[in-house]
Amino acid sequence: MGIPADKTVSHVAGITQRAAQSVRRWFDASEPGLPDLESFARLCAGLGCSADEIIGALRPHADDEVHCAQLIQVANCIQAITDSLAHHGQLGIPMQVPGDEMAPHLKAGDLVFVDSAVTQLAGNGIYAFNCNGSLFIRRVERRMDRSIVLKCDNKAYQDYEWTGATAAAKRRVEILGKVRSAISVKVFS
């Protein structure tokens, strides 16, 4: 499949949504274990193959082999994208950009990956916020006078300046985390 040997366990763990230690048992050379049925079904779906093909009971047709090869290429590409988007090994929580306030850098519908471990403003950067149940994303800039400016990259929108933490609390603004990476998908017809 083109997956490096040292990435096999993490790749299969990702497909099956199982812990790496469980998957390692499936590959144990001395005492191999078998995946549970749900994990096996997820593996089949993730590889785009039937259970019969995986256990060797059925040889795929030539068209199926091409389709499987294409799916494997897509999976490898997605894995490479995921690896490049991860921050310290963590991808973060995916959130969809709700509007065009951060255009041209982030457009409505783009996916951002938010590090939810960051619950306080930890320096300048792009953050995801919740205000009364609505998601918004802003560039945070700390000023010398200790004020905080929430900036929109799109100049059609105004910036907001806060002079203290109470200003955010009054507006019921909650920090969801720091945006670590983003991906934009464009569909061409």
**pLDDT tens digit string along 133-189?**
899 999 999 888 878 899 999 999 999 888 766 666 667 788 999 999 898 877 676
Average pLDDT of span 29-54: 79
Confidence bin at 107 (pLDDT 50/70/90): very high
Percent of residues, the chain, with pLDDT higher than 90:
26
Collapse the DSSP code of 22 into the 3-class scheme (helix H, G, I; strand E, B; otherwise coil) and give the result.
helix
Considering Cα of 145, then 132, then 91, then 19, what sign does the dihedral take?
positive
State pLDDT tens for residues 10-31.
Answer: 888 888 888 888 888 888 878 8
Average pLDDT of span 62-79: 76
- Structural domains in the chain, CATH included, are 5-85 (1.10.260), 93-183 (2.10.109.10)
- In terms of Cα–Cα distance, which of 134, 138, 130, 140 is closest to 169? 130
Q: How many residues does the chain have?
A: 189
What per-residue confidence (pLDDT) applies to 100?
Answer: 94
Dihedral of the CA atoms 26, 27, 32, 34 (nearest 10)? 20
Angstrom distance (rounded) from CA 167 to CA 118: 19
- Asked if omega into 104 is within 30° of 0 (cis), the reply is yes
